Structure 1
């Protein structure tokens, strides 16, 4: 989806270097230095406007969160939310999330989230899907053994593709939901919604996968 450029976005982010990172490769092995406390780090690839990553940071102050997005006009809104919330357990990276294993050392990240990624429905674009095997390898390269990948989508095709891709990669499924918002009360209560999820959950089921490497 094309995002309208916002003139204020880049200047605003530049005014808040305490939250924004533009050269993540320089922090490999040193991510703890960006946070007030030394605690587990969770990463969201494709964080958009930041509702999920900020919501998780507020809900779980015992975890440090890093959101990655390539579009400055949406990431600026995530930075704005972090500033307004005065959160010390959030960092945001303005870059492509395709090569996360060049940003983090093995075991430096404890969990990866993929929320409502671009489905890239055409067969010739399979390699761009964030659950394609090369992406799975990059996540595995930064996680300790037996760590989780958490995935949500409203796209049935991407969900089915991801089930097969994760299974073929040898991952173990901890949870597979065909309709997240009609799950048990505990699962619903624990769920933190993205902007997209909040808008479209009434139009069809939200699918979720939690799987371990």
Structure 2
């Protein structure tokens, strides 16, 4: 979902370049230098307004996190939160998820999160889905051998597509749920996104998986 333009977004971003990177060059393999401590590094592609990633970072100070978003308006809202919270283990990145191997080094990421990605339901838009094979190839390159990918969506069609796409790519599934919020074991430590809370209150089932390469 594309947000309305935020007239103040550019100024806020330019005033807080210690907290957010804008199309960075030469950062492959060097993201640890952005944080106070050298810790395991996790990436969320498509962070939106940032409820999930900020809650995750607060709950896990032993890890470092990068929130990646292509929409300037969305990441500006997330940046607004981070300016107030100043979480030392969270960095923001304004850039496109289609060029991850240009931004991150091989095996630099310990885990990757995809939450409520655009389903791109039309067949001609398949290549834009974040679980399309070209994206999986990039994830495989930047995630460590013992790392993982976690994926949540309310869209049944996208979830089914993703299961097939990942299986065909040779990925192995560690956890799968077609109704995450009613799975006591898996939902115990689940951190919700803004959309997740909204959709679940309307009765939508939340699909979830954890997989590795």
TM range (shorter): over 0.9
* Residue 189 of structure 1, CA deviation: 2.8
- Could you tell me which residue of structure 2 aligns to residue 190 of structure 1? 189
Whole-angstrom CA distance in 2 between matches of 1:25 and 1:192:
32
Whole-angstrom CA distance in 2 between matches of 1:41 and 1:148:
12
Secondary structure at the counterpart of residue 143 of structure 2 = coil
- Cα RMSD for the two superposed structures: 1.0
* Residue 202 of structure 1, CA deviation: 2.1
Cα deviations by residue, 1:40-97 (Å, 9 ceiling, x for unpaired): 1000000011111111100000010001111111101111111211201111111111
- Could you tell me which residue of structure 1 aligns to residue 125 of structure 2? 125
Whole-angstrom CA distance in 1 between matches of 2:116 and 2:205:
12
Cα deviations by residue, 1:139-197 (Å, 9 ceiling, x for unpaired): 0010111321100000000000000000001111001110011111x422311111111
TM-score between the two structures when normalised by the length of structure 2: 0.97
Assess if the C-alpha contact under 8 Å between 1:25 and 1:104 holds in 2. no
Whole-angstrom CA distance in 2 between matches of 1:199 and 1:8:
27
Whole-angstrom CA distance in 1 between matches of 2:24 and 2:17:
13
Secondary structure at the counterpart of residue 27 of structure 1 = coil
User: Are 2:53 and 1:47 aligned?
Assistant: no
Structure 1 residue ranges (4+ consecutive) displaced by more than 3 angstroms after TM superposition: none
Secondary structure at the counterpart of residue 186 of structure 2 = helix
Secondary structure at the counterpart of residue 25 of structure 1 = coil
Structure 1 gaps, min length 5: none
Alignment of 1:1-213 (within 5 A): 1-184=1-184, 186-203=185-202, 204-213=204-213
Structure 2 gaps, min length 5: none
* Residue 39 of structure 1, CA deviation: 0.4
Secondary structure at the counterpart of residue 13 of structure 1 = helix
Whole-angstrom CA distance in 2 between matches of 1:194 and 1:178:
17
Whole-angstrom CA distance in 2 between matches of 1:70 and 1:23:
10
Task: Select between 81-90 and 169-178 the one with higher mean Cα deviation.
Answer: 81-90
Whole-angstrom CA distance in 2 between matches of 1:187 and 1:175:
8
